[in-house]
Amino acid sequence: MGESTRPGTADLAAARIAVLGPVRNREALDAATRVLAEAGFGVELVESLSPRDAVGFDLILHDPDPAPEALSIEDVHIGRLHIDGARKRVFVDHLPVPMSAREYALLRELAAHPDVVFSRADLLRSVWGSTWRTEGSVTEYIRRLRILLEPTGIGECIATRKGFGYSFDPEPAMADG
């Protein structure tokens, strides 16, 4: 495994931590998994059986994921939509559209690749940097983005491709507002 770019995390990148025992510590294990995933590690939580048949979990850490493409500083311009990569801001018709960092990253990922269909799992990897969240997280953030962008007419750009995922349809952004 490659060396970590974060100070003090090189040993963690190659670690395999086995946590055995009753399931009653599952919440603490889930919390630890979230913290490690947010730190950029690929994290797997796998149910295992101990030699005495006690249910436990193996928490497996992988090298930190490279920075997601959604964090690029390149601007995205599509008609009335401007995503400023350096300032991490979104503008429609030159007016700012306030949004969270995650909403920004999701919109940027979709808009940077018009008409490309992303599955929920694809978006979890590219925007969240891991797959520890559920696909429902993607659905919720898509809903939030549509609500934020609806008054501008750009919300219609976020298309659901039933059975496949989501894509960015540039046509509504090209229309006059």
Cβ(19)–Cβ(57) below 8 Å: yes
Distance CA 24, CA 14 (A): 27
% of the chain with per-residue pLDDT over 70: 57
Q: Is the pLDDT of residue 128 over 60?
A: yes
Question: How sure is the predictor about 172, in pLDDT bands with cuts at 50, 70 and 90?
Answer: confident
Closest CA to 42 of 123, 129, 122, 105: 129
Q: Across residues 55-78, what is the average pLDDT?
A: 60
Highest mean pLDDT among 3-12, 55-64, 139-148: 139-148
Give the residue with greater pLDDT, 146 vs 66.
Answer: 146
For 63-77, 95-109, 159-173, which range has the lowest pLDDT when averaged over its residues? 63-77
For 7-47, what is each residue's pLDDT tens digit?
A: 343 343 334 444 434 434 667 666 766 666 666 555 555 55
Low-confidence winner among 27-31, 90-94, 138-142 (lowest mean pLDDT): 27-31
Q: pLDDT band for position 83 (50/70/90)?
A: very high
Q: Which domains does the chain have, with CATH numbers?
A: 10-64 (no CATH), 69-174 (1.10.10.10)
Question: Which residue's structure tokens are 């540039």?
Answer: 170
pLDDT at residue 173, rounded to an integer: 86
What integer pLDDT is reported at residue 29 of this predicted model?
67
Cβ–Cβ under 8 Å, residues 96 and 64? no
91 and 84 Cβ atoms separated by less than 8 Å:
yes
| Rounded average pLDDT over 39-62 | 54
Residue 175 has a pLDDT of 78
Sign of torsion over alpha carbons 36, 37, 41, 47: positive
Return the sign of the alpha-carbon dihedral for residues 83, 89, 93, 97: positive
